[in-house]
Amino acid sequence: MSVSASEVKALRDKTGAGMMKCKEALKESNGDIEKAIEYLRKKGMASAAKRAGRDTTEGAIISYIHPGNRIGVMIEMNCETDFVAKTENYLSLAREIAMQIAATNPMAVNREQVPTDLLEKELDIYRGQARDQGKPEKVIEKIVTGKIEKYYQENVLNEQPFVKDTSKTIKEYILENSSKLGEAISIRRFARFQLGEEL
């Protein structure tokens, strides 16, 4: 089946996928745009996972100021090429992540960035709580492990539920968008400012 350039462009505009991928998807789905989008999503999620280890040296720094001007966020989000970094889909994703940071106030992008001394303090608190409740020693570590996982979900950006769709984490949301854009995407760092907070 032949596919027109306008059909390819329409699918590319909707998904942000590469021209050749769009052409392939349209051929595989006999020109049906919705089926082509589904095809790209299925193919993309698998390839996005493979791309995750690639170098992401391009990207953008995006700022978001929450209505009322009391909370502001700056985020550095990286990708593989400056072409993707300039697309509206990419910039929109960065803004969504910045809004997430404004709303949830995470302390780090990933687990490895959580300070060890802070983690040790939390572990001691959880162990103390379990002992105070009279839990047997063999159960305490299981309880502590469960609580520290919850701590990560609340305080680590990649592990937080996405506020607009809590069925997926931020990491899963980024991976989903990575598959649409056809490049590895990563959050490098962020800063969150709240009016009047302690320095």
Pair 97, 170: CB distance under 8 Å: yes
Residues of the chain with CATH 3.30.479.20: 58-110+156-194
Amino acid identity of residue 134, one-letter, is G
**CATH annotation of 58-110+156-194:** 3.30.479.20
Mean pLDDT of 42-48: 57
pLDDT digits (tens, 9 = 90+) for 124-163: 898 888 888 888 888 888 888 889 999 999 999 999 999 9
- How do residues 153-197 score in pLDDT, each as one tens digit? 999 999 999 999 999 999 999 988 988 888 889 999 999 999 988
The three-class DSSP label of residue 108 is strand
Rounded Cα–Cα distance for residues 27 and 111 (Å) = 42
List every span in the chain annotated with CATH 1.10.286: 115-154
Q: Output the pLDDT for position 47.
A: 53
The per-residue pLDDT of the chain, averaged, comes to 87
Could you say which DSSP state residue 61 is in? E
* Residues carrying CATH 1.10.8.10, the chain: 5-51
Residue 99 pLDDT > 90, yes or no? Answer: yes
Q: How far apart are alpha carbons 79 and 175 in whole angstroms?
A: 12
Q: Where are the alpha helices (DSSP H) in the chain?
A: 5-15, 19-28, 33-51, 82-85, 88-104, 116-132, 137-155, 170-181
Say what the pTM is: 0.69
Q: Which fold has domain 115-154?
A: GTP Cyclohydrolase I; Chain A, domain 1 (1.10.286)
Assigned fold of 5-51: Helicase, Ruva Protein; domain 3 (1.10.8)
Instruction: Tell me the CA distances in angstroms from 139 to 130, 142, 143, 186, one per residue in order.
Output: 9, 5, 6, 37
Task: Enter the DSSP assignment of 156.
Answer: B
Report the pLDDT averaged over residues 78-88. 91
Q: Is 161 helix (H, G, I), strand (E, B) or coil?
A: strand
**DSSP element (H, E) containing 78:** strand 71-79
Residue with tokens 């709240």: 194
